[in-house]
Structure formats: C-alpha cells, structure tokens
Structure 1
Amino acid sequence: MNIIQISDTDLPGRRFNGYDLKLFLNQQGHQVYQFVMNKVSNDPNTIQLLTDRGLIIRTMLIDFEKRLCMNGLTYPYGEIMKGRQEFQKADIIHYHLIHNYFLSLLDLPLLTKLKPSVWTIHDPWAFTGHCVYPMDCEGWKTGCIPCPRLQDHFPMRYDKAGQMWKIKRQVYNEMDIDIIVSSKFMEDYVRNSPLTSHFKNIHRIPFGIRTEDFRRATRDNARKRWRIPDHHFVIAFRSEQNKYKGVKYILEMLKKLSSTKPITLITVGSEPLPSGLRKRFNVIELGWQNDLNTLYDFYAACDVFLMPSIAESFGLMAIEAMASARPVIVFEGTALPDVTFAPDCGIAVPYKNSDALRVAVERLINNPEECRYRGELGRKLAEQHYKFEDYVRRHIELYQEIFNRKRIR
C-alpha cells in the first residue's frame, strides 16, 4: 500500500508520531512517506513541507492567529500537501499531531474526502475550544463558554474558545474519517464529546514498544554503570518543567519520605532537581535522553518508576517500565491506571495526593517481594498488550479495511 504519515516532526516523538511505524511498514514492502513541518532526520522518505521562505510566512501566521486568539485556521500546508505527487498516489493518509501550527482545520473536510483517512487523536485538544487538557473543566461537553484557563497552551488574550469549539464542530461534521485512540481514557472523550460522538469508526490501538529490547539491560550492570550501591532503593522518574508530568508531587512526597534504606533518585528529562535533595539522597540526573541503551539501563537500575502525571492520554514511559519488569505508581484520573492495569499490576493513588504517593512508595520499600511480583506481572502484560509488532499489524489491518470500505463506495 501507499501510505502517508502526517505529523509536526519526525524524530522527537518518533514512537508515536508515525515515524517508527513508517520505518517498519517500509521494511515490509509498503511505500510509506511522512510529511512534517520540522524534519530532524536524514530519512529520504520524510518530506519537510516547510521551506526557508515558508518559515517566515509561518512565523507571521502564528503571530496573526495569536492576535486573533484563534488556532489552526490559516496555515496553507494542507494545500501544499494536496499538490504533492506522494499524496496523489496514496491509498491511505494517516494524520497524527497536526495542531502544532501545522494544518488548517478548514482544509480537513476536503483532504479527508480526497483520500481514505485515519486520525490518531493523541490528546484532548480535538475536543476543546482551546486547551490541550481540560483537567477538571467540563466545558468541552457544552461549548467551552466561558474558558476558565486562557493561559493554558495555546494561550488566548481574549476568550475565543467558544468560537473555536463551534468551528471544530462544523469541520468535524463535514469530515469522513476513521479515528484511532490509544487508550480507553481517550476513547471515552471521543464518544462523549458533542464534537466527535457522530464518528462511527473508532478504533483503540495501544502504542507498542519493542518489549524484548527492555530485557537487554540487567539490574547489576545498570547499577555498576552509575555506581549505585546494591542495597539502595532506587526511585526513577521523568523530571520536566511541564506541569502535567506531576514532578511537583514527587518533590512534595520526597520531603516526607521515610525509609530505613538509603535512597537513590535517578531521572531523565530536562529539568534539574532542587540541589537540596542531594543532602538526603544519592541523585543521578541523566538529562534528556535519545540513547536507547541509556534508557534501558535507566529502567533496569530502579526499583520503582513514578509517573504521577495529572494529565496523560496514554503514557509510553509507563509501559517501558512495565516491559523492564519494574512496578509503576500513577495518579488516578488519567489514562495511566488503565494502561498499567491497576490495581493488579500498577499502583494508582488518589489524584494530586503526594501523601498517598509517599505511602505507596514506602510500602514498596518495605516489601521487596511485592516490588518483584508487580514488576514481573508488568513484563507479562506488556508482552501481551504492548508489543510493537502487534501495533504495526493492527494498523496494517485497519489500513486495508478502510481502503476496501472506501473503494466499495
């Protein structure tokens, strides 16, 4: 089949934005391209739609939309894409992250009529008039009037969220498209939103990872790499400024954490931890990581992985930790309890509750057998539900089903 994956970029987020999917499908004999705004790789099958001259125009359009307090209406790249030979030859167009100053919503009805199309909805932006994550706001169900958090991404100086919500409703009503979501959490959004509940073809395909790769690293070798004493209890997490990742609650928890064992903290991510933590804990900060072997060792070195996100539509790092046979602690109220099979495998604690997070961590510190049991169960579940090969197979089957269905028309 001739397939095009469409996203804002290629290598950043490659595991979920269609890049890795493209590589695997091409290896299996399909002809797959990826259209992006910002190309990072040297892959000849990744095509950047943005030229140097176009960058100036795009910058002007971003500024123009910010002044209008609107988002995703003025960009010309749908028209540019439509004229490409690769698009014209395609059997299937697969849209991924398209709202980062990329495609105009107004182009989607025509684009989806021209070619059989599928859209992986990665976050709730598709259902709101403004924000990426509504959190506890229910306005997305009734029209986003008024918007209580105008400074959330994408920020608005004036409240145009209601207008954007209506525009999305009109656009979606004119679209002929299949929808993919990765979790029950996101499927519930699609089915309950007045904007998308009319879509008939909704498919849940969890993201996949190469689970066997996470068996490569061993605890002993990983700890030797960073000189972590064997008797330390090691807590791993991602440290980012992004408020949705919940680092705030980990830091609150660490202030109160009580343990008879020495603790090592190991992090990936761009946000340094407060220097005061080094007085109580052994701290290892790996920074932002693209090196897979370092990530394998990161998980292998730890006893528990914390992912207390306050907004999460799937959680790839959670399933990576599971594949590494490490228990995962998450907050309720996101996709993560379902993704980690809590309470049987993952541990889900009350939302935004750092005390409950502390209790769960202390329980695992004091119960190494529970740590091992949950970790081993996590690996089994990851191999049953989150294998990359299954992720690819389900996409191929869906592409063929959509192509046949649309061709019959």
Structure 2
Amino acid sequence: MNILFYSPMKPLDHPNPSGDQTTAIGLVSFLKACGHRVETASRARARWLYWKPWLFPGIIADIRRIERGCFCHKPDLFLTHHSYYKAPDVIGPEVCRRLGIPYVVFQGIFSTKQRRNPKTWPGYVLNRKALRFTDHVFTNRLIDFENLKRLVPVSRLSYVRPGINPEEFRFSQVQRAQWRERLGIAPDMPIVVSAAMMRPGVKADGIAWMIETSKRLLAGGQRHVLLVAGAGPEEDRLKALASGNRSIVFLGKIPRNCLFSVYSTGDVFAFPGIRESLGMVYLEAQSCGLPVVAFDNGGIAEVVCRNETGFLTPPFDTGAFDAALIRLLNDARLRRQMGVAAMHSVRSDYDAAKNFRTVESVLLGLSGG
C-alpha cells in the first residue's frame, strides 16, 4: 500500500515526546516494516487551529499540494493519527474527497461535552465532521470505542489494544548494577521509579504527588529511594519541592531507548497518572518487570491488570496509595510475582506488532490490496 500519513497534534519528529507520539511512531514503523510506503502528507499542527487563523493559508496550501500529486507514488488511502476536538483533522477529509481515496483515523476521539463549551465547540464540530467522513476508525481506549459508537457505525469501528515493542524494554541486571553503583545505592535498597515530562499540568502534578508520597514514607521510617526520570519547565519547582532529601534523585531527561536501564534499576514503578488517557510508561515499566502503583482513573486499568501486575488506588487517596506502595516495598516476593506477571502480560497482550496486524488487515481491505 501507498499511504499518506498525517498527525494533526504534532509531527512524528516533534522534540517534545508523548505517549500519543510514541504510538504514532510505532504504527508508522510497523507499516513500513510490513513493506508499505508511508509518506507524510503534512507537518501542519492543528492544535487549536480554529483560534489561529494565521494557520489556514498553510493548511490550504498543503491540501492543494497533495491534490497535485506531489508524492513518489499514487496514494491508496489517507491515514490520520489522533483527531479530536483540540486538534481536528481538516486536511484528510478534504484530500480524500478530492482524490477519491479511503480516509482512516487511528485513535479517533469523540466527546460530546465539548459542544457545550464556546472555546471547544468549533473543534467539536470540525472533529465530528472528520469522524463522520471516515471509512474506518481505530481506537486504543475502550471508553473512546463506546463514545464513537454514537457517531460511527460499529462496522467501521475497531478497538486495538495499546502496545509497545517489548524487545526495547527488557530487564537488564547489568544496567541495574551499573546505575546503582553510579548513584551510590546499595544493592538491597528498594527503589521506586517514576517518569514523566515535567510540563505544567497533570504530568508535573503527578511527579509532585510522588515527591510528597516519598517524603511522607521516609518520615515514617520506610526506607527506599525515589528515582525521577524526566525534564521540562517544571523541573526546578519540583526539585525545590524535594530539596534537602537525598533519597529523592532526579535523573534528568532519559532518551526513550535508554529508559529500560532506569526501569531495570528499580523495584516498583509508581506514578499516579492523573486523568491519564493510557500511559505508555506503565507498559514500558511492566515490560521490564516492575509492578505498578497508580490511580484507578482514565485508561490506566486498560494497561495495568488490577492486583495482578499492579495496584490501582482511588484518585488522591493518600492512605490507599501509601499502603499499596509500602506493601510492595516490604514484600520482595510479591514484587517478583507481580513483576513476572507484568512482563508476561505485556508480551501476551500489549505487543504493538501483534496488535497492529488488525490495522494492516483493515487497511488492505479498504485499499483493495
């Protein structure tokens, strides 16, 4: 297949990583590995574009350029990753209408509550129009699947489990020993790992929650070290929050292809995931054998098996969160048991290459391949 690809939220090579971007990169890489040609249709960012009229000329120019056929091969279909009210796809539907090719969205999101907010109403309308035009919509969240059924016929909908490449996130005893030696942490000291981009909002709030949790546990005599991986605008504020506490260690930004070494260093992965849509970090950590402690909200329960590969607690319940973390820190046997279950779970159900086969099959059917 010859596929035109577009990511309205941000291009694949955007410098600020996110779970959505990771999924998009994984999808494109999978399709290319299967022998399909995938060309970027546009690099235009559509985030809040309806309040940014200066973006319209560039988007119109991209649509005209694509219509003129400025690509190496004639496209068989148009594939958009993640269209929703903040970044609706206004390019794909128009291109497909003009070229007469199928239009597909991966990770489409439909939220009717956005129609009641004047700020988001234009995005709601544009996104609804795009999703109605689709020949097929894929989603990796069950709640989105249910919401999309109100707009798109079930025959044009598919749920695809989220996934990662487990081979990129394997436990390494060598890395564990090296990191602990480098940081001066004893081999028997329990380590809690947390990771997130330290940008304003729920990500930084999640790290702040972990810092406060760690300080509370340490004050109660619970020995452990908290390793925090990530960087961003809120880094200085978060470091100040942990100031003077040598058991809270900031590692800075860790490239994704090196994160396995940090996960391997730890014994538990803990991050609340405030209103987390899914959280790829939970899959990455579990793939390296770490049990999880997180809030029972958003889509986290779709990637963490409750009481089998991790503990999910009521949001903002400090007592329940602390108790779950303490239980794992004090029970090495339970950690190993849940960690092994976590590794098996990821390889069995959350291997992106296996799950993307459904996507390829549908795309081949739409393109006549």
> Residue 99 of structure 1: CA displacement?
6.5
Cα–Cα, structure 1 residues 23 and 171, in superposed 2: closer, same or farther, change >3 Å?
A: closer
> Residue 364 of structure 1: CA displacement?
1.0
Match of residue 165 from structure 1: 124
In structure 2, stretches of 5+ residues that fail to align are: none
> Residue 75 of structure 1: CA displacement?
3.5
Q: Give the distance between the partners of 2:86 and 2:302, measured in 1 at CA.
A: 31
In structure 1, stretches of 5+ residues that fail to align are: 38-48, 51-57, 129-138, 148-158
Q: 1:244 aligns with which of 171, 189, 202?
A: 202
Cα–Cα, structure 1 residues 29 and 109, in superposed 2: closer, same or farther, change >3 Å?
A: closer
Aligned length: 349
Q: Give the distance between the partners of 1:167 and 1:214, measured in 2 at CA.
A: 38
For residues 82-161 of structure 1, the aligned pairs below 5 Å read 82-86=67-71, 89-97=74-82, 105=90, 107-113=91-97, 114-121=100-107, 124=109, 126-127=110-111, 139-140=113-114, 144-145=115-116, 147=117, 159-161=118-120
The yes-or-no answer on 1:5 pairing with 2:5 is yes
Q: Give the distance between the partners of 1:276 and 1:166, measured in 2 at CA.
A: 42
Match of residue 239 from structure 2: 274
SS at 1:312 equivalent: coil
Q: Which amino acid aligns with 2:230?
A: G
1:33-67 CA-partner distances (Å, limit 9, x unpaired): 23342xxxxxxxxxxx69xxxxxxx99x95xx437
* 1:5–1:32 contact (8 Å) kept in structure 2: yes
SS at 2:71 equivalent: helix
* 1:233–1:261 contact (8 Å) kept in structure 2: no
Larger RCO (CA within 8 A; separation ≥ 6): 2
* 2:222–2:326 contact (8 Å) kept in structure 1: no
Q: Give the distance between the partners of 2:40 and 2:71, measured in 1 at CA.
A: 10
> Residue 347 of structure 1: CA displacement?
1.1
Q: Give the distance between the partners of 1:178 and 1:197, measured in 2 at CA.
A: 9
> Residue 242 of structure 1: CA displacement?
3.8
TM-score (norm 2): 0.81
> Residue 292 of structure 1: CA displacement?
1.2
Cα–Cα, structure 1 residues 168 and 23, in superposed 2: closer, same or farther, change >3 Å?
A: closer
Q: Give the distance between the partners of 2:146 and 2:293, measured in 1 at CA.
A: 23
Cα–Cα, structure 1 residues 84 and 283, in superposed 2: closer, same or farther, change >3 Å?
A: farther
Q: Give the distance between the partners of 2:147 and 2:126, measured in 1 at CA.
A: 18
> Residue 237 of structure 1: CA displacement?
1.0
Q: 2:267 aligns with which of 288, 293, 303?
A: 303
Match of residue 212 from structure 1: 167
Q: Which amino acid aligns with 1:127?
A: S
Q: 2:191 aligns with which of 217, 231, 234?
A: 234
Match of residue 398 from structure 1: 362
> Residue 288 of structure 1: CA displacement?
2.3
Among the aligned pairs, what percent are the same residue?
19
Q: Which amino acid aligns with 1:32?
A: V
Q: Give the distance between the partners of 1:67 and 1:282, measured in 2 at CA.
A: 45
Match of residue 352 from structure 1: 316
SS at 1:279 equivalent: coil
Match of residue 341 from structure 2: 377
* 2:131–2:152 contact (8 Å) kept in structure 1: no
Name the stretch that deviates more: 278-287 or 353-362.
278-287
* 1:183–1:339 contact (8 Å) kept in structure 2: no
> Residue 302 of structure 1: CA displacement?
0.9
* 2:291–2:342 contact (8 Å) kept in structure 1: yes
Q: Which amino acid aligns with 1:251?
A: I
Match of residue 224 from structure 1: 181
Cα–Cα, structure 1 residues 396 and 109, in superposed 2: closer, same or farther, change >3 Å?
A: closer
Cα–Cα, structure 1 residues 338 and 31, in superposed 2: closer, same or farther, change >3 Å?
A: closer
> Residue 400 of structure 1: CA displacement?
1.2
Match of residue 75 from structure 1: 59
1:312-365 CA-partner distances (Å, limit 9, x unpaired): 222111000110000111211210012111132221100232332112111111
Match of residue 216 from structure 2: 256
